[in-house]
């Protein structure tokens, strides 16, 4: 940001709340007695991927949500041959309103002068369950979204009698008979917790056990 005398400051924070981007300027800098108004806050171009990692399977829709600041050309590129071959573009929207991009060679999505006050979303259908990468370029900003369908792991044993999951030995209440167990031999996996019905609790703890013990 810059004031009327040309003094600059980089004390600007970006905050995302309810999928909305807020630009927050430093109050002390703004309230300085020597500050000359008007002050211009120009974040130029910015793109933020809201769900960087996803796990759709073959036949599923891969939905990537993103926020942008400013107006610039938006290019969404399948980043490798696997992504080019396996993904079919379905739609590009801003807050649910469909936009009509140009589809270039190798399934590159191009929308000139993209501007969206709300949340953008691009949807592809996944034809083959495999790792995929999308590169988002907005002005001079680059961001990525990743699909890895093999990363979701399901519990291999449970005693889930009342649809609440706890570690058998380290439960935070007296219900030590309710837990889910998952043995993962490959690092970098994700645990998917599926509840059949809503539960009423103030917190849920998830523990991972390795050779060093339990980690909350």
Average pLDDT score over residue span 69-93: 94
Residue ranges and CATH numbers for the domains of the chain are 12-43 (no CATH), 47-149 (2.60.40.10), 154-216 (no CATH)
Dmax (CA) for the chain in angstroms is: 68
Average pLDDT, stretch 100-117? 95
**Looking at per-residue confidence, does 11 or 123 come out higher?**
123
- Measured CA to CA, the distance from residue 61 to residue 15 in angstroms comes to 28
State the average pLDDT for the chain: 76
Rounded CA-CA distance 107/78 in Å is 7
> What pLDDT, in 10s, does the model give residues 149-188?
765 544 444 444 444 444 433 333 444 444 555 555 555 5
DSSP state of 134: E
Q: For tokens 């801003």, what's the residue? A: 94
Phi and psi for 82 in degrees, rounded to 5?
Answer: -60, -45
Contact 192, 156 (CB under 8 A): no
Q: How many degrees, rounded to 5, is the angle at CA 119 between CA 114 and CA 120?
A: 45
CA-based angle 88:99:61, to the nearest 5? 30
Q: Does 135 score more than 60 pLDDT? A: yes
Compute the 3-state secondary structure of the chain and give helix, strand, coil in percent, each to the nearest 5: 5, 40, 50
Which range is least confidently modeled, 50-54, 75-79, 174-178? 174-178
Predicted confidence at residue 99, as pLDDT, reads 96
198 CB neighbour count, 10 Å cutoff: 6
- Distances in Å between the Cα of 16 and the Cα atoms of 8, 44, 134, 190, 214 are 24, 17, 22, 24, 32
Residue 13 tokens, joined: 């924070």
- Residues 32-41 have pLDDT tens digits of 999 999 887 7
Task: Categorize the per-residue pLDDT at 60 as very low, low, confident or very high, splitting at 50, 70 and 90.
Answer: very high
Which pLDDT belongs to residue 19? Answer: 57
Q: Which residues contact 134 (CB under 8 A, 6 or more apart)?
A: 64, 76, 77, 78, 79, 83, 122, 124, 144, 145, 146
27-31, 96-100, 156-160: least confidently modelled range: 156-160
pLDDT band, very low/low/confident/very high, at 91 (cuts 50, 70, 90): very high
The DSSP element (H or E) to which 30 belongs, if any, is: helix 27-30
pLDDT band of 136, cuts 50, 70, 90: very high
Question: Can you tell me the mean pLDDT for 128-138?
Answer: 93
Helix (H, G, I), strand (E, B) or coil at 32: coil
pTM, rounded to two decimals: 0.58
Can you name the residues that pair with 2 across neighbouring β-strands? Answer: 8, 40
């Amino acid at each position: 940001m810059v004031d009327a005398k040309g003094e600059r400051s980089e004390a600007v924070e970006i905050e995302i709340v309810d999928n909305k981007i807020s630009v927050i300027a430093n109050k002390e800098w703004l309230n300085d007695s020597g500050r000359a108004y008007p002050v211009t806050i120009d974040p130029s171009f910015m793109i933020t991927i809201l769900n960087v990692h996803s796990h759709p399977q073959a036949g599923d829709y891969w939905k990537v949500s993103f926020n942008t600041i400013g107006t610039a050309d938006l290019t969404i590129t399948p980043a490798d041959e696997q992504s080019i071959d396996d993904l079919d573009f379905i739609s590009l929207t801003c807050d649910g309103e469909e936009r009509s991009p140009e589809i270039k060679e190798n399934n590159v999505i191009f929308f000139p002068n993209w501007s969206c006050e709300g949340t953008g979303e691009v949807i592809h259908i996944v034809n083959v369950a495999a790792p995929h990468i999308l590169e988002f370029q907005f002005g001079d900003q680059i961001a990525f979204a990743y699909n890895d369908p093999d990363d979701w792991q399901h519990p291999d044993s449970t005693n889930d009698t009342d649809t609440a999951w706890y570690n058998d030995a380290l439960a935070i209440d007296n219900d030590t008979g309710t837990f889910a167990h998952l043995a993962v031999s490959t690092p970098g996996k994700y645990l998917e917790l599926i509840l059949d019905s809503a539960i009423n609790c103030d917190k849920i703890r998830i523990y991972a056990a390795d050779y060093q013990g339990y980690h909350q």
